[in-house]
Amino acid sequence: MANPDLPEEILLEIFSLLPAKSVGKCRCLSKSWRTLLSTPQFVKSHLDRRNTVHQRQSLLISHSITLQSIDAVRNNGVVVPRRIELPHGWRIGVAGSCDGLVLVLNHKNEIFLLNPVTLDRARVPDSYKTRYYGCKYGFGYDASCDDYKIVETCSYIGRRASYTFVDVYYVKRRLWKKVEHSRYVHYPCAVTPGAFLNGAIHYLACQRDHESGVLYNVIVAFDLEHDVFDEMPLPSGYSVGRLVFDKLVVFEGCLCVVDSRRNVEIDVWVMKEYGLAESWAKCSFRVGFYWDNLKPLCCVNNGEDVLVSTSEKLRLYNLKERALRDVVVDGGAVVLREAIVFVGSIVSPFFDT
């Protein structure tokens, strides 16, 4: 032990209070500390402690062949990214995050779990069916069985019938499971990946009316414990037939959807109390010509600004001034394809059976 004067239980208590990146550095100081700080008991303790106190949110951004993490956005809108090394030739996409693990896909449509702090990366085996470029993914944690799950949905749209094939991967058990087909249709290219919150993965989807055969829009939640879909209540004034949201994300711990129909302003709806229709609250963003593909990420600068991603750029929206400004790095704007928020952890994507 690097410091024999301190009992092991005291050391563990101190280490459990440190950010994930600091724990990673401590692991490099001695073999004994690396062993101590890598046990499943400590990893769980550190994760539980992280979930009970406010932790700084980090950002993971991808731009085709690059993947970068950002720990903080300064008041002047300047960021310092850290590049995550990937195999040569990879084109990367980001499909979700949970407990510091991020689900990523490469250009071969292979999926991986990545910890951006420890840089550990684990390949996920293919599902039962042949993987193709129409699948949509979600990633979350099922407390009922203490396992992380990857949900793969692939939709079929016919003239009179439409449904979605659903497969679920149990990360710790390392197996795929087929579940009952969903009656909802998930459009993979038009909207964001599934958003994990409150034990469920949420999607913007469509359902076909049995009498008319017309597709109408809904918000659905896939319950990870029971492997079933259920519909979520819509904001006031929106009916199932005219839902026009084009983004669904988790924003500051709440379900959030974006309505981008207007040219100069967009409406951002946040569900303050999960599952309660009356708790939807609207905030209109005046964004001028930068509305395209806008996605709220998190609040920064003591809640004065909202960090958003727009078409290929990262920006700050000031709530008081109702104005956008670019986030800059190395004197230029941050160019991106996708961006997600995560809270760093030491959870490994490799799990023992």
Query: DSSP secondary structure string, 127-150?
Result: -SSPP-TTEEEEEEEETTTTEEEE
pLDDT of residue 184: 84
pLDDT of residue 4: 56
Q: DSSP secondary structure string, 99-112?
A: TTEEEEE-TT--EE
Q: In this model, does residue 336 exceed pLDDT 90?
A: no
Strands 215-223 vs 200-208: parallel, antiparallel or unpaired = antiparallel
C-beta atoms surrounding 293 within 10 Å: 16
pLDDT digits (tens, 9 = 90+) for 222-258: 999 999 999 999 887 776 665 567 889 999 999 999 8
pLDDT of residue 301: 84
* Confidence label for 175 from pLDDT (cuts 50, 70 and 90): very high
C-beta of residue 36 within 8 angstroms of C-beta of residue 8:
yes
Of 141, 11, 97, 105, nearest to 344 by C-alpha is 97
Q: Locate all alpha helices (DSSP H) within the chain, ordered by sequence.
A: 8-16, 20-27, 31-36, 40-52
Collapsing DSSP states into helix, strand and coil, what is residue 264? coil
* Confidence label for 69 from pLDDT (cuts 50, 70 and 90): confident
pLDDT of residue 82: 83
Question: What whole-number distance in Å separates Cα of residue 188 and Cα of residue 154?
Answer: 8
pLDDT of residue 286: 82
What is residue 28's DSSP assignment? T
Q: Which of 47-56, 237-246, 312-321 has the lowest mean pLDDT?
A: 237-246
Token readout for 169 is: 């991967």
Q: Radius of gyration (Cα) for the chain, nearest Å? A: 21
Token readout for 227 is: 């492997």
State the average pLDDT over residues 62-77.
76
Q: How far is CA 280 from CA 168, 201, 273, 274, 304, in A?
A: 30, 18, 8, 9, 21
Question: What whole-number distance in Å separates Cα of residue 208 and Cα of residue 192?
Answer: 21
pLDDT of residue 120: 93
C-beta of residue 152 within 8 angstroms of C-beta of residue 137:
yes
pLDDT of residue 259: 83
Residue in this structure with the two tokens 């199932």, named with its chain if needed: 240
pLDDT digits (tens, 9 = 90+) for 124-138: 998 876 455 568 899
* Confidence label for 9 from pLDDT (cuts 50, 70 and 90): confident
Token readout for 240 is: 């199932």
Q: In this model, does residue 169 exceed pLDDT 70?
A: yes
pLDDT of residue 353: 45
Question: What whole-number distance in Å separates Cα of residue 309 and Cα of residue 66?
Answer: 17
pLDDT of residue 1: 46
Percent of the chain surpassing pLDDT 90? 37
Question: What whole-number distance in Å separates Cα of residue 25 and Cα of residue 1?
Answer: 16
pLDDT digits (tens, 9 = 90+) for 203-216: 988 877 777 767 67
Percent of the chain surpassing pLDDT 70? 84
C-beta of residue 151 within 8 angstroms of C-beta of residue 194:
yes
pLDDT of residue 207: 78
* Confidence label for 195 from pLDDT (cuts 50, 70 and 90): very high
Residue in this structure with the two tokens 């000031």, named with its chain if needed: 318
Q: In this model, does residue 278 exceed pLDDT 90?
A: yes
pLDDT digits (tens, 9 = 90+) for 81-135: 888 888 877 878 888 999 999 999 888 888 999 999 999 999 999 887 645 556 8
